[in-house]
Structure 1
Amino acid sequence: MAADTGNARVLAVCRDELHRFSKAPVEAISLVAGLGVVGDAHAGTLVQHRSRVRRDPNQPNLRQVHLIQSELFDVAREHGYELSPGDLGENILTAGVDLLDLPTDTRLIFGEAVVRLTGLRNPCAQINAFRPGLLKVVLTTSDGSPTDGPAPPTGSPEARSANGQVVRRAGVMGVVERSGDVRPGQRIRIEAPAGPFRPLEPV
C-alpha cells in the first residue's frame, strides 16, 4: 500500500536531449513505462549512460530517471556551493522525503506515473569538473568526513576508510513502471516493497 508522506513533493523537473552534465528545468516531463523521460538522452530500455555503454551496451537501463532530494542543495550551500534545479543532472528534484534511506524497489507515485528505485547514483569526477571541490560534498564517509576521489565499488576493501563507510549523496536512480506526467508541486506517495529491507546500492 502506498503511503502519503504529507510533505513529500516535486520541486522541479528537468530533461536534456543531449548527453550533458546538467539538465534544463521544464514545466513538466512525460514518463513512459520501460523507457524513461521523453526527450531525455538517458531514456531507453538498454543502458544509455556513455561510460556504461562502453563497458556493455546490452545492459538493461536501470538509470532511466535520476532523482535528487533538495536537502542536498542545503548541504552544498553550507559548503559554499549554490546549486539550481538540473545542475547535477537530475530529472526530478524532491523535497520532504529522504530518498537515500528508501529501500531498493521502493515505488514513488507521482499521480499516474510510477518510478521504481533501482539504486544510488555513483558520484564521479564530472562533479568536480562542474564545480571544483563539489565531489567532497556528495561523497563522504559515514562520520561526515569528506573523501578525496571517485567512489570505489561497493563491497570492495576500498569502500571503507578509517572513518567509516562511503556515503553517496548524489541522488537515486529508477525505472518507469507506469507512464504519466510529472510537474513541480505534485505530491509524492511512497510504496514500500514486499520482503526484507534491501538498501540502495550504486547502479
Structure 2
Amino acid sequence: MAAERPTDRDASPAASHTASLADERVDHRFKALPPDAQGLTVGALAAERRNLFTGGFTTPVLALSAESVAHNLDLLETYAERHGLAFAPHGKTSMSPQLFAGQLERGAWGITAAVPHQARVYRAYGIGRIFLANELVDAVALRWLAGEMAADPSFRFVCYVDSVRGVELMDEALGAAGATRPVDVVVELGAGEGARTGARTEADC
C-alpha cells in the first residue's frame, strides 16, 4: 500500500498495552524459561540478567539480539519512508506485542494478520490498524469485527477478497451483525492459472 503513512511516531497505542506483560507470572506456559523461575514475574526474571548458558534455561531456546532487532526496525522505517510506502509487517510468526509496538513507533501503517484469531490478539494489545491477508467470510468472525468497529470509530480494518461471492457473503454476515461501518477490502489477484489464492478472471473481480 502507498498511502496513509502515520504522522505521529512518538506514541503507539500498542506500547501502553505491553507494559502489563512484565507482570505475568512465569509458569509451565513459558517455553524454555528456567524451572526455578516459577512464580517470578517476567519483569523480575528479566532484571536478573541470567546467563543464557548457565542460568537454568532449557533447550531449545530462542534468543534475539536487541541490537539486531533495533537495526532491522530502523532499516525498515528508512526503506518505507524512501519509497513512500504504508507498510503493515506480518505479525503471525512472532505474535509479539512488544515487536508490534516497535514497528508502529517507527511508522508502520498497521500489523498484518493471517487469521481472525490473530486479529483478536492484536486488538487486545491496542493495534488500531489491521490488514488481514485473507478473505473473511466467517460469520462469527465478521460479527466480532462489526462489534470492534462499532466500539472504536478509529479502528481500521482491511482484508483481501478474491470473488464477488466472497463480498456477498461478507455483506450478508455484516448486515446480520448490524454493522454500522463498511469494511475496506483489497482485491487479491491470482498470479496465473495455478495460483493458490486470488481472483483468476475478470469476472471474479
Q: Quick check: TM above 0.5?
A: no
- Structure having the higher Rg: 2
Q: Give the TM-score taking structure 1 as reference length.
A: 0.25
Higher relative contact order at CA 8 Å, sep ≥6: structure 1 or structure 2? 1
Higher strand fraction (1 or 2):
1
Q: Give the TM-score taking structure 2 as reference length.
A: 0.25
